[in-house]
Amino acid sequence: MHIMEGYLPVAHAVGWWGVSLPFMVAGVRSLKRIIRENPSARALLGTSGAFVFVLSALKLPSVTGSCSHPTGTGFGAILFGPSVMAVLGSIVLLFQALLLAHGGLTTLGANAFSMAIVGPWVAYGLFRGLRGCGVGFSFTVFLATAIGDLMTYVCTSGQLALAFPDAASGFAGAFLKFLAVFAVTQVPIAVAEGLVTVVLLSTLKSYNPETLGTLHVLSDGGLNK
């Protein structure tokens, strides 16, 4: 999600940076550990970052007058865990702010929290939880990535509502208004992202099980079962 440069009040922009930074630091440590333990995973890490960049750069006009896009973060979260996506997602958002004018530098903390932290943690948690309950692989991937995508926009709606509460109904009224702006477009986009991610992960599972088998998150998540 791209909140544009200068849109948030200074206190909110700084606050979201403060909330996001610990996740980014933890992500750097997790990324170093994965590369140290699984050097062959470098290509897959690069693919995960590229997937986020391409999907989240697609600006699709909404009938509500806004723009929406997929996030792509659920793919990497399932492969490597949500901490890594705090780094990859933030790097993507930084380059998009600098090169594509999507989002901004002052709002990078807020954008990273919704797209690179909340979305991946939701997707990863659902994937692990559903697989632990014996739910089928394809359905689990679809549901986890689709809901992770949607939760990014739910989070952004909350961020905007905190910054700009409704004069009459406060945070709750503003939250519902912002959510209504995104929901119409985002539901089919989230469904499409879920389907694409199922195809990608199913292909990796079929043609490259050795690399996936070396990733601790995947073996715990039951991908090889």
pLDDT tens string for the chain (225 positions)?
688 888 999 999 999 999 999 999 999 999 999 899 888 888 889 999 999 998 888 776 665 556 678 899 999 999 999 999 999 999 999 999 998 888 889 999 999 999 999 999 999 999 989 988 888 888 999 999 999 999 999 999 999 999 999 999 999 999 999 888 877 678 888 999 999 999 998 888 777 766 666 665 444 444 433
pLDDT of residue 46: 92
Cα separation of 102 and 5, whole Å? 9
DSSP H helices, the chain, are 10-37, 42-56, 73-80, 82-95, 108-112, 119-132, 137-163, 170-207, 209-213, 216-221
pLDDT of residue 212: 65
CA distances from 142 to 136, 162, 197 (A): 10, 31, 7
pLDDT of residue 223: 41
pLDDT of residue 215: 63
Q: Which residues contact 194 (CB under 8 A, 6 or more apart)?
A: 74, 141, 142, 143, 144, 145, 146, 149
Cα separation of 210 and 126, whole Å? 24
Phi/psi for 68 (5° steps) reads -130, 165
pLDDT of residue 65: 57
Cα separation of 222 and 31, whole Å? 21
Q: Are 41 and 215 in contact (CB under 8 A)?
A: yes
Set out the domains of the chain in order of their start, with CATH numbers: 10-207 (1.10.1760.20)
pLDDT of residue 173: 94
Q: Which residues contact 180 (CB under 8 A, 6 or more apart)?
A: 64
